[in-house]
Amino acid sequence: MSDFLVPEKSTWADFFIRHFGSGRLDQDHLRPLKGVSFGTVRRRLYFYGRSFWDAEVRLASTGHAWSEREGRRPHWHEGVLYLPETFESQGAVPGGEVYRAALAHALCHLKYGLPLVQSGLDAWTRRVVETVEDARVEALALRTWPGLLRLWQGLHTITPAARNSAGHYLERLARALLDSTYEDEDEWIRQGKSLFGSMPLDQEDFSVRVGRALAQSFRTKKIPVRIQSDQVLLTYRDDNRQCWAAHSEGNGTAGPVSRKVVRNRRFKFFGLNFKVVDESDNPSAKQFSLLAALFNFKLDIGVSVEDKDTDALGVYRYPEWDYKGQIERPSWVRILEKLPKSGDSQWVDDIIAEHKPLISRMRFVLDALQPAENQRLRKLEEGDEMDLNAAIRAYCDIRMGIPPDTRIMMRTLRQERDIAVLVLLDLSRSTNEKVPGQSHSILHLTQQACVLLADAIGKVGDPFAIHGFCSDSRHNVSYYCFKNFDQPYDQLAKARLAGMQGQLSTRMGAAIRHATTHLEWQKKGRKLLILLTDGEPADVDVRDRKYLRYDTRKAVEDAVREGVQVYCLTLDPRADQYVSTIFGARNYLVVDHVARLPEKLPLLYAGLTRS
């Protein structure tokens, strides 16, 4: 029994995984990481990629609970660039600049990378080829952006005094190929610099030819090679998986979503059989699932078969905030984007006819939102066309000996509204309840409000989307797109609004994160997310009422950091107890008279989008 005593510095999680689970939960994954966090620089990195590299890059964090191999190195996966959750300062380079160096290097592969043919190459040769390819794409980038050299140089700290291992030789080679001022007397390093400058960098098989020659000559040194440990330990460089996949598996940009294979894993605990749904290839995520099965038996309600998500158009994974441990659990919630059911579109036309007096009253408000006529700016030194009247006055001044006004050009300024609006609807089971004193349900009023809002936005001309969500544990958060930004508001969209259904629970934080992702794809100056709900966040696998409240607040904070304004319209009369904590004191409205919801929602949109 002494083997079952918990050590002083151990955790209960580690104890149960070691004795009753499969594998050990590394305590380093539970400690808060130091350095600059990904969330604080994500928006800046996104605009850096757009402005300097003209690249729309989808960025994501590997999270805290990834393995050492996946979590500490950047990597491309299905068109998404994953960066570590934190970067510490490295020498004189602060953590935020390490993120910029990593993004710049990854974009070098995207812009200058060539497919590498791995047939006939052993593991060591592939490692040398990758080092040469990294140096090649960086050298091409330095022709356009020479300032990157100082940034990358600060992250190469290897010296010739390092011990003679294969990995250190690769790091010395990487520094020598980047920095022409670096001096290294080793013959192999000199050979690498000579071969690197002997051929055009844009030659198709450049890296393979140079890498193969260097790998062959390195074998004469009689230094043992350990593939797992002998590698270039430069944290800003990605793992080059996309270089080889580009030839054998496509370009690695198959899309933002991949369908995960769901497996059922079984284990025993005190003689009882437990089944855990394993949806991740991440070892740490599997171990978290084991703990969840031990201490929260309702966690996997609703997910037990492999074909549970066969009707999903896409599967997304998002983190979730644990306020007690003050950590963000990576890939913790699964979003299933589904096709909504259709109803009778005639029902939508009937709503428009029923609320015709309300639409007439809102006409003046909506007219004020529409952009004004094109304005003509005069008295400009540079413009699109000449202002004839100003030119005549300037000529008259010249003839009279008076210094003329040189501002004789004009420009026509087109007035446009630069905003995208997404309406997110809570479609939980509670929306089926009747409104007190009315025959309509909350869901019916929600449908009416959406119809009137869509009609109002359509008249103004803003791009908009209407989405809804419900949940059945963290494994099944259903997300419905009744109308997307790129879809017209036609009979199909109206039929989907008519087929709206209320069911299951309300995992609000995950839905806000997914809605934020949809808004991030819109190239608009302002992005507005309006959440319509009838209650607080709740789900079947969560007993602590504060847990999802704090997670939703964290999701709202992340959305605001990404430039998305989040506003909540709640129908819960008790919402004052929690809604201000989640959304902020000025970012919510409690509708006291639920029957007035169809009128409130369009007017709220008008107030929030008024310039």
- pLDDT at res. 14: 46
**What does the mean pLDDT of the chain come to?**
77
- pLDDT at res. 365: 64
Rounded CA separation 566/547 (Å): 20
Share of the chain above pLDDT 70, in %: 77
Q: Which residue has the tokens 């699932």?
A: 289
CB crowding 354-376: b at 16 or more within 10 Å, else e = ebeeebeebeebbeebeeeeeee
- pLDDT digit string (tens) for 123-138? 888 888 888 999 999 9
Band of residue 566 on the pLDDT scale cut at 50, 70, 90: very high
Answer whether 519's CB lies under 8 Å from 463's CB: no
Q: Which residue has the tokens 């991949």?
A: 258
- pLDDT at res. 229: 64
Closest CA to 62 of 309, 280, 338, 358: 280
- pLDDT digit string (tens) for 509-532? 999 999 999 998 888 888 999 998
Partner residues linked to 422 by β-bridges: 465, 529
- pLDDT at res. 275: 44
Band of residue 221 on the pLDDT scale cut at 50, 70, 90: confident
- pLDDT digit string (tens) for 336-384? 998 888 888 888 888 888 777 777 766 666 655 555 556 677 888 888 8
- pLDDT at res. 163: 67
CA dihedral sign of residues 356, 358, 360, 365:
negative
Q: How many CB atoms lie within 10 A of CB 433?
A: 12
Helices (H) and strands (E) in the chain — how many of each?
20, 18
Scanning 400-533, the segments in alpha helix (DSSP H) are 442-460, 491-498, 508-520
Query: Cα dihedral angle (283, 284, 289, 292), rounded to 10 degrees?
Result: 160
- pLDDT at res. 258: 33
Between 4-18, 36-50, 236-250, 424-438, the lowest mean confidence (pLDDT) is in 4-18
Answer whether 389's CB lies under 8 Å from 398's CB: no
- pLDDT at res. 414: 62
- pLDDT at res. 314: 80
- pLDDT at res. 510: 94
- pLDDT digit string (tens) for 70-108? 446 788 877 788 888 888 888 888 989 999 999 999 999
pLDDT of residue 471 exceeding 90: yes
- pLDDT at res. 304: 36
Rounded CA separation 391/256 (Å): 55
Closest CA to 410 of 383, 438, 440: 383
Band of residue 228 on the pLDDT scale cut at 50, 70, 90: low
Give the highest mean pLDDT range of 275-279, 413-417, 603-607: 603-607
pLDDT of residue 273 exceeding 70: no
Scanning 308-439, the segments in alpha helix (DSSP H) are 346-354, 356-369, 388-399
CA dihedral sign of residues 143, 146, 148, 154:
positive
- pLDDT at res. 105: 92
Answer whether 443's CB lies under 8 Å from 534's CB: no
The better pLDDT of the pair 547, 246 is held by 547
Share of the chain above pLDDT 90, in %: 16
In order of 2, 163, 593, the CA distances from 393 in angstroms are 101, 80, 63
- pLDDT at res. 601: 79
What would the DSSP string read from start to end of 146-193?
Answer: TTHHHHHHTT----TTS---HHHHHHHHHHHHH-TT-----HHHHHHH
Give the highest mean pLDDT range of 32-46, 484-498, 503-517: 503-517
Answer whether 86's CB lies under 8 Å from 74's CB: no
Give the highest mean pLDDT range of 165-169, 371-375, 396-400, 459-463: 396-400
Q: How many CB atoms lie within 10 A of CB 608?
A: 15
